[in-house]
Structure 1
Amino acid sequence: MPYATPVKPTAGPLGEPIRGAATLADIARAAGVSASTVSKVLNAKGDVAAATRERVEAVLREYGYRRRGPRTAPLLDLVFHELQSAWSLEVIRGAEKVAQEEGLSLVLSQSEGRSTPGQSWLDGVLARRPTGVLLVLSKLEAAQCRQLTTRGIPFAVIDPDGELDVDVPTVGATNWQGGLTATRHLIQLGHRRIGVVAGPSRMLCSRARLDGYRAALETAGLRFDPKLVVAGEFHHDEGHRLGKELLRSEDRPTAVVAGNDLQALGVYEAARELGLRIPQDLSVVGFDDLPVARWVGPPLTTIRQPLAEMAAAALHMVIGLARGDERTRAATRIELATELVVRASTAPPSKA
Structure 2
Amino acid sequence: MTSSGPDSAEPGRQGLTVAKIAHLAGVSAPTVSRVLNGQPGVALGTRQRVEAVLREQGYQRRESGPAAILELVFHALESLWALEIIRGVEQVAREHGLAVVLTEMQGRLTPGRAWTEQVLARRPAGVIAVFSELTVQQQSQLATRSIPLVVLDPTGEPLHRTPSVGATNWSGGMAATRHLLDLGHRRIAMLSGPTEWPCCRARLDGYRAAMDAAGVPVDPDLVRVSTLYVEGGLRDGGELLRLPAPPTAIFTANDLQAFGVYEAARQAGLRIPEDLSVVGFDDLSFTRWAGPPMTTVRQPLVRMGAAAARMIVALAGGEELEQHRVELATELVVRQSTAPPSRR
CA contact (8 A) 1:8 1:63 kept: no
CA contact (8 A) 1:27 1:59 kept: yes
Name the SS for the 2:278 alignment partner: strand
- How many angstroms apart in 2 are the aligned matches of 1:69 and 1:158? 26
Aligned CA distance change for structure 1 residues 126 and 316 (closer, same or farther; 3 Å): same
Deviation per residue, 1:205-250 (Å, 9 max, x gap): 1111111101101110100111001111110111100110000111
- How many angstroms apart in 2 are the aligned matches of 1:206 and 1:272? 26
- How many angstroms apart in 1 are the aligned matches of 2:153 and 2:339? 31
Counterpart pick for 2:259 among 265, 268, 279: 265
Matched, 1:336 2:328: yes
- How many angstroms apart in 1 are the aligned matches of 2:248 and 2:168? 26
CA contact (8 A) 2:126 2:316 kept: yes
Q: Which residue of 1 aligns with 2:181?
A: 187
- How many angstroms apart in 1 are the aligned matches of 2:63 and 2:196? 41
CA contact (8 A) 2:230 2:257 kept: yes
- How many angstroms apart in 2 are the aligned matches of 1:343 and 1:154? 41
Q: Which residue of 2 aligns with 1:223?
A: 217
Matched, 1:5 2:9: yes
Structure 1 position 7, deviation (Å): 5.3
- How many angstroms apart in 1 are the aligned matches of 2:208 and 2:146? 43
Q: Which residue of 2 aligns with 1:315?
A: 309
CA contact (8 A) 1:7 1:21 kept: no
Name the SS for the 1:140 alignment partner: coil
- RMSD over aligned CA atoms reads 1.4
Deviation per residue, 1:52-94 (Å, 9 max, x gap): 1121112223333333444684000000011121100000011
Structure 1 position 164, deviation (Å): 2.0
Structure 1 residues 180-189 or 54-63, which shifts more?
A: 54-63
Structure 1 position 162, deviation (Å): 1.2
Q: Which residue of 2 aligns with 1:89?
A: 83
Structure 1 residues 61-70 or 111-120, which shifts more?
A: 61-70
Matched, 1:351 2:321: no
Structure 1 residues 64-73 or 133-142, which shifts more?
A: 64-73
What pairs with 1:115-194 in structure 2 (closer than 5 Å)?
115-194=109-188
- How many angstroms apart in 1 are the aligned matches of 2:24 and 2:323? 35
- How many angstroms apart in 2 are the aligned matches of 1:27 and 1:280? 70
CA contact (8 A) 2:62 2:146 kept: no
Gaps of 5+ in 2: none
Counterpart pick for 1:24 among 18, 21, 28: 18
- How many angstroms apart in 1 are the aligned matches of 2:17 and 2:211? 63
Counterpart pick for 1:202 among 196, 200, 206: 196
Counterpart pick for 1:40 among 34, 41, 58: 34
Deviation per residue, 1:107-140 (Å, 9 max, x gap): 0002221222112111111000000000001121
CA contact (8 A) 2:10 2:61 kept: no
Matched, 1:296 2:300: no
- How many angstroms apart in 1 are the aligned matches of 2:127 and 2:159? 17
Name the SS for the 1:66 alignment partner: coil
Percent identity reads 57
Deviation per residue, 1:255-306 (Å, 9 max, x gap): 0001100000000000001100000000000000000111111000000011
CA contact (8 A) 1:182 1:303 kept: yes
CA contact (8 A) 1:289 1:303 kept: yes
Counterpart pick for 2:235 among 241, 256, 260: 241
Q: Which residue of 2 aligns with 1:12?
A: none
- How many angstroms apart in 2 are the aligned matches of 1:71 and 1:65? 17
Between the two proteins, the alignment pairs up a number of residues equal to 340
Q: Which residue of 1 aligns with 2:271?
A: 277
Deviation per residue, 1:286-332 (Å, 9 max, x gap): 00000011111100000001111111111111111111112x1x411
Name the SS for the 1:51 alignment partner: helix
Q: Which residue of 2 aligns with 1:74?
A: 68
Name the SS for the 1:317 alignment partner: helix
- How many angstroms apart in 2 are the aligned matches of 1:63 and 1:107? 31
Q: State the TM-score, normalized to the length of structure 1.
A: 0.93
Question: What amino acid is aligned across from residue 334 of structure 2 in structure 1?
Answer: V
Name the SS for the 2:287 alignment partner: helix
- How many angstroms apart in 2 are the aligned matches of 1:63 and 1:168? 20
- How many angstroms apart in 2 are the aligned matches of 1:72 and 1:211? 41
Counterpart pick for 1:211 among 184, 190, 205: 205
CA contact (8 A) 1:5 1:65 kept: no
- How many angstroms apart in 1 are the aligned matches of 2:27 and 2:116? 22
Question: What amino acid is aligned across from residue 348 of structure 1 in structure 2?
Answer: P
- How many angstroms apart in 1 are the aligned matches of 2:63 and 2:287? 47
- How many angstroms apart in 2 are the aligned matches of 1:120 and 1:334? 30
- How many angstroms apart in 1 are the aligned matches of 2:45 and 2:12? 23
Name the SS for the 1:145 alignment partner: helix
- How many angstroms apart in 2 are the aligned matches of 1:234 and 1:244? 15
Question: What amino acid is aligned across from residue 5 of structure 1 in structure 2?
Answer: A
